[in-house]
Amino acid sequence: MIKVDEKVVQWTKNLTIAQLLKTLDDVKFCSVVRLNGKLISSPKFKTTKIPDNSKIQLLPLVAGG
Amino acid sequence: MDQINLKEIKAISYEKAEIKKGYTDHSLRINLDESDIIINPITEKIKDKFIGGKGYDLWMMWNAVSGDTKWNDPENAICISSGPLGGTPGYPGGGKSIVTSISPLTGIPIDSNVGGYFGPYKKFSGFDVIQIDGKAKQDCIIFIDGIENKIQIFEASNLPQDSYELSNVLTHHFDEKKPVNVSVVSAGPGAEHTYFGCLNFSWWDAGRKRVRYKQAGRGGIGTVFADKKVKAVVARFGAVSMKTNNPADLDALKLVTKAHAKEINELDPKQNRMALVGTTHLIPIMNDHECLPVHNFKFGSHPESFLIGEEAYEHIFDKGFDGCWRGCAVACAHGVKDFSPFTGPYRGQKVFVDGPEYETVAGCGSSLGIFDPQTILEINFYCDAYGMDTISVGTSIAFVMECFENNQITLEHTDGMDLSFGNRFNTLELIHQMARGKGFGVIVGKGIRNMKEIFAKDFGADMAFMQDIGMESKGLEFSEYITKESLAQQGGYGLALKGPQHDEAWLIFLDMVHNFMPSFEDKAEALHWFPMFRTWFGLCGLCKLPWNDIVPEDNKDNAEPAKVVKHVGWYADFFSAVTGKKTDADGLIAMSEAVYNFQRVFNLKMGYGTREHDTIPYRAMGPVTEEEYESRQELYDGQLKDKYSLDISGMDTKAKTAALRQKREEQYELLTDAVYERRGWTNNGIPTVATVKRLGIDFPEVLEVLKKSGVE
Ligand code: SF4
């Protein structure tokens, strides 16, 4: 199991952030997530695997300076 | 140190104007030539048109200078204002000052939005805006005492040299018992010897019982301040509450303040955690998106960037409340205590460093090839203490380093200093030299535009190469984002009124990551709305961070999430509650549009403000060197083939770099056309008569300036 913004989601082996986002609604503007406290940006979504029992926060649109 | 020496040379007592609905309706002018202290009323007409803040500053400046005024002429003015909403305790970001002057770097008005308590204290002392002009004969200090209703000008001697110690000494001098009542504006030796001097605006950190400061960094206003021989401007005021601004509708103000602060308290921990890490969360994000300047903006990422991002600074920042305005829930103005510099006059002592923010980490870290958080702290500390803008310092030194590595300048020119990327000791030495006004640092302190001339003329450097890699536009050094893959942000920098600072528009993600504005018209629309809305914060005395750095949870469901429409509505309510003038989102844009166009005409009055001044170096558009092209070859090759339908099979890197350049430069021109049209400007970038009439800024002197440029 993993937690995505407080919601419990089924974990599967080798699940990447990109695969996870495909299963979620309203993630059009999600270009950064916090995976177990660490910031991961969209260019790394496909290659970043999510360990079991992870906590993921979807960050809103990046506003910059 | 011995007792400071202050000799009063002029003093007046005054009757403090009552604050009504966020305004005192009075200005204060200090003329240093004659040591005159002049208080004037502000008319309703000016209030309606210029709103406050930057609007008031620009109006005062317009009347102070002629088209021939240079930055170091006595008539050049420094204006400081807050704005009708400034000084609202508890409203996130509700206490900024806006400072303007004719810039030593650009020759046109520069504006800087800064925290600290000065702006609100000055207003509550009776003045919406202050103007300082003329030049003092001796070092002087101006004291605005809103408790005793007295203004004094002192000749000053035996003062600490740097801003770090000066702010501290003056805070205690002017209110030993209640230092929280004092805010000091000061520069430092770096402001005397460089063109990018900044101003430090202080506030008393009650938790840590020490003076803190924030910087009005951009464009060299500190240099103008030092040139006028002003050592400090001090404001003193007592207790502040929501009632101090005498809002039209206190209940409505409380309601909107509570809503915005509550949302930030709830959501910041789930979003960017700015109360913990400030803006350093942007380092890993920009790095991963190839937008972090590395080696003078040549590259957009570096494997060691994790050493200087939020993961490092979260543990280094001192824990505690860090709001640069009272009760600001974002509280992102972090600092580091007991830092011990390893160079310079504070070597081995323990100091408090205010910062660093993202811009300083990127500009004085990654862009210089420095990935050591301690060195960045030391650069941050000395730039502030010396009164120098960390953005211009970082971007200028990055330029020098690339010139050095490309043999455009050599050891012979740098006093024997190896200025290769990553050389942290010589970076610090350069900064000390700038502050002392000695050695090669004197040349670097003149900024990139001047360095290009000097390097070409005196050192035989290649001007064309330097034009491509020197990250300045209008004479101002770029702030710290790579824009190569975002045409909209290239416009956000190049078409900004004062030069390439991101506070007008930050569109990189909307454009590059989300492809939210595919057409030129879409980009032009964004380059209209965002600069206008961001300008509004400067009119009212607010910080923009609480608008879009923490957003409502349902923001993504909105058709235009980047505008954070719910917050825009709150700002309209905030304005209505304080001023009693009912407004809405469109009303906020209309306020800004008048001032924005006035500033563009002001640029024209000063001999700039046309298309030829809206250009950017090619480094901001695409890869200059073959090494740079090859670092992202797959991306660039793909664009040449797919986007521009070119057959690149027989082309070498040099030919491909040139082909890409031609396309990208064409795109920038097309974008410029579209933006000018959307803004109601001629194809040469000048507001038309119809535009200034529509906005109600068709004053005779404005029409005269347009006429001189052939616009009738
Ligand atoms: S958001 Fe940060 S910079 Fe803005 S007023 Fe608050 S503490 Fe200061």
B65 lines ligand 1 (CB under 6 A): no
**How confident is the model over B273-318, as pLDDT tens digits?**
999 999 999 999 999 999 999 999 999 999 999 999 999 999 999 9
What's the gap in Å between the CA of B382 and the closest CA on chain A? 23
In DSSP terms, which residues pair with B102 in a beta bridge?
B109
> For position B559, what pLDDT does the model report?
87
> For position A19, what pLDDT does the model report?
97
3-state per-residue secondary structure call for B617-660: CHHHCCCCCHHHHHHCHHHHHHHHHHHCCCCCCCCCHHHHHHHH
Q: Check if B503 contacts A (Cβ < 8 Å).
A: yes
B323 lines ligand 1 (CB under 6 A): yes
Per DSSP, the three-state class of B689 is helix
CATH code of A38's domain: 3.10.20.30
* Residues whose CB falls within 8 Å of the CB of residue B549, separated by 6 or more in sequence, listed in order: A63, B271, B272, B274, B330
**How confident is the model over B366-412, as pLDDT tens digits?**
999 999 999 999 999 999 999 999 999 999 999 999 999 999 999 99
Query: How far is it, in rounded angstroms, from Cα B200 to Cα B187?
Result: 6
**How confident is the model over A26-56, as pLDDT tens digits?**
888 899 999 999 999 999 999 999 999 999 9
What's the gap in Å between the CA of A50 and the closest CA on chain B? 18
Q: Which 239-298 residues of chain B touch chain A by CB within 8 A?
A: 270-272, 279, 281-282, 284-285, 288-290
pLDDT band at B216 (very low <50, low <70, confident <90, very high): very high
Interface confidence: ipTM more than 0.85: yes
| Atom 6 in ligand 1: residue holding the nearest Cα | B93
> For position B556, what pLDDT does the model report?
86
Q: Does the structure show a pLDDT above 60 at B137? A: yes
> For position B2, what pLDDT does the model report?
61
Q: Does the structure show a pLDDT above 90 at B515? A: no
**How confident is the model over B531-548, as pLDDT tens digits?**
999 999 999 999 999 999
**How confident is the model over B140-192, as pLDDT tens digits?**
999 999 999 999 999 999 999 999 999 999 999 999 999 999 999 999 999 99
Total structural domains within chain A = 1
In DSSP terms, which residues pair with B101 in a beta bridge?
B110
Q: Does the structure show a pLDDT above 80 at A64? A: no
**Is the CA virtual torsion B28, B31, B32, B34 positive or negative?**
negative
Flag whether A25 is in a domain.
Answer: yes
Q: How far is CA B51 from CA B6, B319, B570, B590, in A?
A: 37, 38, 18, 11
Task: State which ligand 1 atom lies nearest to the alpha carbon of B324.
Answer: 8
Residue A27: domain span: 2-60
Query: How far is it, in rounded angstroms, from Cα B117 to Cα B550?
Result: 23
> For position B240, what pLDDT does the model report?
97
Average pLDDT, chain B: 97
CB < 8 Å to B530, chain A: none
A61/B551 CB distance under 8 A: yes
Distance B233 CA to ligand 1 centre (A): 22
Nearest CA in chain A to B552: A60
Flag whether A65 is in a domain.
Answer: no
In DSSP terms, which residues pair with B140 in a beta bridge?
B155, B230
- Average the pLDDT over B42-59 and give the result: 98
Q: What domains, with CATH codes, occur in chain B? A: 5-236 (3.60.9.10), 268-477 (1.10.569.10)
3-state per-residue secondary structure call for B338-403: EECCCCCCCCCCCEEEECCCHHHHHHHCHHHCCCCHHHHHHHHHHHHHHCECHHHHHHHHHHHHHH
